[in-house]
Amino acid sequence: MPSQAWFDERIASTPSALATGDGSHPDEAKALAQYLSGSVTTDEAAINITAPILAEADPPQECYRLWGLLCDALVELSEEECQKTIDLLLAIRNLPSSSTALVWSQLPGFASMWDTLHRLHLQGRDGWEAEVETLAESRRSKLREHFTAIGSAEAKLFVNGLVGAEWGFKVLDLLSSKRPGLDIFLSEIHAWLKIAGDKLRAAAKVEDKDCNTEWQVGEVATTKHWASWKEDLSRLSREGSGISEEGRRLAAACYERM
């Protein structure tokens, strides 16, 4: 169970802060705390945590603050609490729609919020990549922990049917990017393959002989793409690949799970 301070840090400090999206509603944080402590059932928590949004004048426009809170929980809390948060998302998805404008089964805005908070590194270089060769080991360790948490949460979302296979394919495609941060990103790739490797591989379609080995966003990955990523991992796992010993170890572990 996270500390009360964890919840307090996520509550909007004033009504104006809440209105501008700087924090969650106090009752949303309270509902999550009660649920994670075991005081209420998953279905009860789904009703409680969405109630403040339904009380707003324009509920669809307020969903983002709930998603922000749950996105934080998925990445920052324990494995058990992460799974409970996923169970809560599944329960929210099963809530009846309050109107045609707010269809809970679609978890409206959740994917966009997650993308903004935790997938911007897939769009281009993170700031730390410019100095990756001189990063202190403590900084490297924290980055690895961060991307492991993101990869683990995303893989669990995928396994539970909350996001599609493309999320995993896009992470795997970092292998062909030549990014300076690849040594660190292998932690995220490893987390994905450890949790969802079999299901992700099964989602890759049988290759078309005319298919390009370069995967494009929006495509379903093929077995040819999968084989290309596996070869990238084999190359990275060898001495002289240009990445750290820990990176090579992770690459080898990823290769075994492909």
Verify that 123 and 251 share a domain, yes or no.
yes
Check residues 33 and 1 and name the one with the higher pLDDT.
33
Verify that 132 and 249 share a domain, yes or no.
yes
Show the domain range for 140: 119-257
Verify that 86 and 129 share a domain, yes or no.
no
Give residues with Cβ within 8 angstroms of 78, minimum separation 6: none
Assign 3-class secondary structure to the chain: CCCHHHHHCCECCCHHHHHCCCCECHHHHHHHHHHHCCCCCHHHHHHHHHHHHHCCCCHHHHHHHHHHHHHHHHHHCCHHHHHHHHHHHHHHHCCCCCECCECHHHCCCHHHHHHHHHCHHHCCCCHHHHHHHHCCHHHHHHHHHHHHHHHHHHHHHHHCCCCCHHHHHHHHHHHHCCCCCHHHHHHHHHHHHHHHHHHHHHHCECCCCCCCCCCCCCCCCEHHHHHHHHHHHHHHCCCCCCCCHHHHHHHHHHHHHC
> Structurally, how many domains does the chain consist of?
2
C-alpha distance across the termini of the chain, in Å: 34
| pLDDT at residue 3 greater than cutoff 70 | yes
| pLDDT at residue 32 greater than cutoff 90 | yes
Encode pLDDT of 183-219 as tens digits.
Answer: 999 999 999 999 999 999 999 987 655 555 555 555 6
Distance of CA 168 to the CA centre of its chain: 10
Verify that 128 and 18 share a domain, yes or no.
no
Mean pLDDT across the stretch 141-149?
Answer: 97
Residue 253, token pair as written in the block: 């572990």
Verify that 130 and 31 share a domain, yes or no.
no
Of 91, 111, 131, the last residue of a domain is 111
Of 80, 111, 142, the last residue of a domain is 111
Verify that 32 and 141 share a domain, yes or no.
no
Check residues 220 and 167 and name the one with the higher pLDDT.
167
Verify that 75 and 24 share a domain, yes or no.
yes
Encode pLDDT of 72-118 as tens digits.
Answer: 999 999 999 999 999 999 999 999 987 778 999 999 999 999 999 99
Verify that 137 and 97 share a domain, yes or no.
no
Residue 160, token pair as written in the block: 């539970």
Verify that 99 and 164 share a domain, yes or no.
no
- The confidence band for 124, taking pLDDT boundaries of 50, 70 and 90, is confident
| pLDDT at residue 4 greater than cutoff 70 | yes
Is 65 buried (19+), middle (13-18) or exposed (0-12) by CB count in 10 A? buried
pTM score above 0.85: yes
Specify the pLDDT at position 93: 97
- The confidence band for 178, taking pLDDT boundaries of 50, 70 and 90, is confident
Verify that 143 and 186 share a domain, yes or no.
yes
Check residues 193 and 225 and name the one with the higher pLDDT.
193
Of 111, 135, 161, the last residue of a domain is 111
According to DSSP, the residues that pair with 24 across neighbouring strands are: 11
Verify that 165 and 239 share a domain, yes or no.
yes
| pLDDT at residue 49 greater than cutoff 90 | yes
Tell me what percent of the residues of the chain surpass a pLDDT of 90.
79
